[in-house]
Amino acid sequence: MSAKVARGLIFLSATWLAFSLAWGAHWAASSLIAIVGIVWTLNTFVRWYFWSSFAFLVLLGGSALLVLWGGSEWIGLLTAVMALLAWDLESFHRRLRLYETSEGQIEWAHLQKVGFIGIVGLALASIPLMWHFVINLGWALFAAIVLMGALILTLRWGGRTAG
């Protein structure tokens, strides 16, 4: 089940992103995203392990470029979230193949959890897209430092239990 969902998400995110880039006449980037999306989808069958991480990064890069080139911010965000979910589900499915799983129970639980957090992430990320505000450089720097500090602390904290 997780593999099918991952394939669907890969297809949707790559298609949207490729069309959006093509809409802005960024033909090279659009073609690249389309090719990467197709190969990533095929890769879910043939298991070329490093490729999914590479394709995931390419799609994230494409989302960032779309935003930078003035394309739809919503499509950029949706693509990033879907690529994240697809990458996680594919990785999870790969792990499941090594084990004798009990009647798909864990797969369903994983999908629910990841889907819920993905929706929460999408909802939180859409707030700044809907509500535009301007802050001066000092506040921006302060916010950046606080955020980076929090992130570093979280990473260190997480690193202890990450195993």
Partner 1 sequence: MIGRVRWAFWGTIACSFILLGLATQRGALLALAIPFLVFLFSSFYLGGSLVPILKATRTLSTSRAQSGEEVTVHIEITNEGSSVEEIEIIDSIPSYLERVAGEPRLITTLKSGETAQIEYTVRGRRGFAQWNQLSITAGDHLGLRRRFTKVSCQGHLFVLPNFPKLYEVEIRPRRTRVYSGSVRTKLGGPGIEFFGIREYYPGDALRHLNWKATAHYDQPITNEFEQERVADIGIVLDCRERTEVSVGGDSLFEQAVGAASALADFFISRGNRLGLLVYGDYIDWTFPGFCRLQREKLLQSLARAELSNKTIFEDLENIPTKLFPAGSQLVIVSSLCEDDVEILLQLCGLYHVIVVSPNPILFELSRTHPTDAILIASRIASLRREIVLSQLRQAGIRLVDWDTQSDLPIPVEQALGRHTLRHQQAMRGRP
Contact residue for partner 1 among 58, 77, 86, 93 (CB under 8 A): 77
How far is residue 89's CA from residue 33's CA, in Å, rounded to a whole number?
20
In the DSSP assignment, the letter for residue 97 is T
Q: For the CB of residue 68, give the shortest distance to partner 1 in the complex, in Å.
A: 6
The burial class, CB within 10 Å (0-12 / 13-18 / 19+), for 80 is: buried
Query: Cα separations (Å) of 39 from 7, 29, 43, 54, 132?
Result: 11, 15, 6, 11, 37
Structure tokens at 70: 């003035």
Cβ distance to partner 1 smaller for residue 42 or 117: 117
Q: Does 109 bind partner 1 (CB under 8 A)?
A: yes
Contact residue for partner 1 among 4, 23, 27, 129 (CB under 8 A): 129
Structure tokens at 71: 């394309």
User: Binding residues for partner 1, per CB under 8 A?
Assistant: 53, 57, 60, 63-64, 67-68, 73, 76-77, 80-81, 84, 88, 91-92, 95-96, 98-102, 105-106, 109-110, 113-114, 117-118, 120-122, 124-126, 128-129, 132, 140, 144, 147-148, 151, 154-155, 157-159, 161-163
